[in-house]
Structure 1
Amino acid sequence: MKRVRLNVFCCSVIAGLLAGCATSVDNLAINYHADLVAQQVNEQSLLSGDKKLNIQYLGVGGYLFQYGEDSIMTAPSFTNPGLINVTLPLSIEPDTDLVDKLLPAHAKQAEFILVGHAHYDHLMDVPYIMQQHMPEATAVGSTTMTNIVTAVIDDARLLDITEHAADGQQPGRWIYNRNNTIRFMPIKSDHAPHFMGIKVMSGKYEDALTELPSTAYGWKEGQTYAYVIDFLDIQQQPIYRIHYQDAASNSPDGLMPVMADSKVNSKAVDMAILCVAAFHQVDDYPEAILQQTQPRTIVLGHWEDFFDNNSFDNNSVDNQNKPVKGVRMTNIDDFIQRVEVVKTDDATTVLPAPFSWIQAY
């Protein structure tokens, strides 16, 4: 009974705190690089035989990485339930019509879907996408993730990365795609509290579910992971390295282990993909990640308001006239200023609009 009362109290507090307006982003430089332009660039590079890496932001923690003819994706979130449905909690489920509309056609060839944690805004759309659009893709994530998704997806298409993950300075194990052109290593990380030091929707599933959760609180966090993603040359040496997070974390959680690559002492990080949401609830974020990785490109993700925010259309060449607001209770400008203080002088910072493309350099 006490736990029920506490959950009701937490829901009420969260609803009250989040019910205010989303954060204005009118003063921020948002990247609206159009889908069509990036696709033309990628097609030209394939015709010339020169493999390029193009990255499309899908919103929240979702990214599509296209590398020549191969691709990999982090868990996309297109269904954005309203605030009341999430906090009370009421029933939520994937908006399958919206997923059908917004999932880019070129995403369907991705071999893996990397899941950082199992909250609804990262995982809820994934089972439907795997069933209807990506019948050969493998979902990668925590034990909790696999125990949720196994309710509707065969275990052969789920990879529990618990034994593969780096932990502190102990390196993990690389996982390769079928063509040995992409590899990734999970890193044990954590998820920032949501407000006032309180983390909601935490917990884990030790046993397999027989049906998918029906409320936001059923999509438990599980163990959170960051990822190092490498794109490889024909000698299977890393030529482009990305450090990816879909949740802000307290240092040293999420930091890269010391890694030595064959034929080279260590491959530098070219791009760090960060999480803006709830960054102020943890210490030394994003400073610790950026000071360690010193990337040339810094991408700020999970920055937009994701409650009832389905206004973007990936079929539009120009999304600049589409309304977009920032995630609630978060000072995005402060995050950007903190990035500017610690980034290297030649590093570029990108705040991508949903469905915009990010050129890798």
Structure 2
Amino acid sequence: MNGNIPPLTRRGLFGVGAGVAAAVGGVACGTAEENTRPARQLTGIRLRWWGNNSWEIRISAPGGDRTVLIDPWLTRFRTGTYTPAGADPTTPLSVDTALIDHYVDSGELRADHILVTHGHYDHITDVPYLAQRTGATVIGTESHLNLLIALGAPQDQLSVASGGEYIDCGSHRIRVLRSLHSQLGPRARIPFPGTRPAAPPPRPRTIADLVEGGTLAYQIESPGGSVLNLGGSNYIESELTTLRPDVLLLPVGGSNVHDYVPRLLHALGNPPHILPTHWDDFDLPLSRPAKDTGGLAPLRKAVTAASPSSAFVVVDHLQTYPA
């Protein structure tokens, strides 16, 4: 264990304690009834959860489906995050190329775009190899892309973003939003903080080498529905107030964020479909059912209190929504 970097514990990493439960107590910025809006049926758009914050969004389009991946991480090597000692910052990075090849070669996994919310190991470690295998365009901040280049990503497939971009992809649009990473522990710290501007760093070797590098959120919009992913249990409220996503991919946690759930749902007009994300024990493989790290119940309670008309839907590893 690196003595200069405090361990990341299960509770510290996700902040699933009293903070989220306390958010249930009410919101001063309006009532759920004021913001309730009817849910429209999702058509021509399907989500699949690959664990952690890894999502596949497949959009039906003339000439063939288009696919967007968010933070794809299939390898899920052990870090000790859910042990009493917490994650070991010296854990070496690894990529299970055989596993990725299995899904890509079978046609089960493909990508036109890969969207990176931030630079931590559980969000970008597999991205360079997936970009090579799929030919996808990868979108992220300057720091994210420098880390990806250092990991061997094809540079001609990388597209830098800083938030504010609105990309027309024909069958769908990608809206890039400025966002914030989760704030953890009593001092509201970000794990593995920092940026990597200007030039790629030396090749990252351990999980501590993959720094946050800024956080982005993404909304994917199609005629059949829109999906918003925050990437972390935090957000910039002013970036969201004009959005009305049909589906919100809502991370567990947010214990250090004032009124994390009610303020967010109010800003978004109470999304009709809410799917929790980043709630499973990612030290365990995708082949196992997802193991709740403790955040689902308080998140469900907070959503029900803030927006009783919203459907709170939990999907398991590799399951799709709508089913």
Q: TM-score range by the shorter chain?
A: 0.7 to 0.9
In structure 2, stretches of 5+ residues that fail to align are 18-41, 82-86
* Structural RMSD (CA): 2.8
Does the alignment pair 1:61 with 2:53?
yes
Structure 1 residue 155: Cα displacement: 2.6
After superposition, what is the alpha-carbon deviation per residue over 1:188-212, rounded to whole angstroms, capped at 9, x for unaligned? 0111123332321110101332653
Task: Tell me which residue corresponds to 2:258.
Answer: 283
Between 1 and 2, higher relative CO (CA 8 Å, sep ≥ 6) is seen in: 2
Does the alignment pair 1:302 with 2:278?
yes
Structure 1 residue 16: Cα displacement: 9.2
From the superposition, tell whether residues 334 and 186 of structure 1 become closer, same or farther in structure 2 (CA, over 3 Å): same
Name the CA distance, whole Å, in 2 between partners of 1:206 and 1:353.
Answer: 37
**C-alpha contact 2:46 2:321 (8 A) present in aligned 1:** yes
After superposition, what is the alpha-carbon deviation per residue over 1:219-269, rounded to whole angstroms, capped at 9, x for unaligned? 11011011121013xxxxxx422221121105527x41537xxxxxxxx32
Does the alignment pair 1:194 with 2:184?
yes
Task: Tell me which residue corresponds to 2:153.
Answer: 153
> When the two structures are aligned, how many residues end up with a matched partner?
284
Does the alignment pair 1:240 with 2:225?
yes
Once the two structures are superposed, the pairs formed by residues 1-361 of structure 1 within 5 Å of their partners are 8-11=3-6, 13-14=7-8, 52-68=44-60, 69-84=65-80, 86-101=87-102, 105-108=107-110, 110-131=111-132, 133-134=133-134, 136-151=135-150, 152-162=152-162, 165=163, 172-177=164-169, 180-196=170-186, 197-209=188-200, 211-232=202-223, 239-252=224-237, 255-258=239-242, 268-276=244-252, 278-293=253-268, 294-307=270-283, 309-310=284-285, 312-313=286-287, 322-327=288-293, 330-345=294-309, 347-359=310-322
From the superposition, tell whether residues 291 and 51 of structure 1 become closer, same or farther in structure 2 (CA, over 3 Å): closer
SS across alignment from 1:289: helix
After superposition, what is the alpha-carbon deviation per residue over 1:318-346, rounded to whole angstroms, capped at 9, x for unaligned? xxxx443223xx4421111001111142x
Name the CA distance, whole Å, in 1 between partners of 2:11 and 2:299.
Answer: 20
SS across alignment from 1:203: coil
**C-alpha contact 1:251 1:284 (8 A) present in aligned 2:** no
In structure 1, stretches of 5+ residues that fail to align are 24-49, 166-171, 233-238, 260-267, 314-321
Name the CA distance, whole Å, in 1 between partners of 2:89 and 2:119.
Answer: 19
Structure 1 residue 17: Cα displacement: 6.8
**C-alpha contact 1:296 1:344 (8 A) present in aligned 2:** no
Letter of the aligned partner of 1:183 in structure 2? R
SS across alignment from 1:227: strand
Name the CA distance, whole Å, in 2 between partners of 1:90 and 1:220.
Answer: 14
After superposition, what is the alpha-carbon deviation per residue over 1:63-94, rounded to whole angstroms, capped at 9, x for unaligned? 11111122211121112222349524132221
Letter of the aligned partner of 1:173 in structure 2? E
Name the CA distance, whole Å, in 2 between partners of 1:64 and 1:16.
Answer: 26
Name the CA distance, whole Å, in 2 between partners of 1:17 and 1:332.
Answer: 13
SS across alignment from 1:73: strand
Q: Which has the larger radius of gyration?
A: 1
**C-alpha contact 2:49 2:318 (8 A) present in aligned 1:** yes
Name the CA distance, whole Å, in 1 between partners of 2:251 and 2:147.
Answer: 24
From the superposition, tell whether residues 191 and 210 of structure 1 become closer, same or farther in structure 2 (CA, over 3 Å): closer
TM-score of the superposed pair, with normalisation by structure 2: 0.79
Structure 1 residue 113: Cα displacement: 0.5
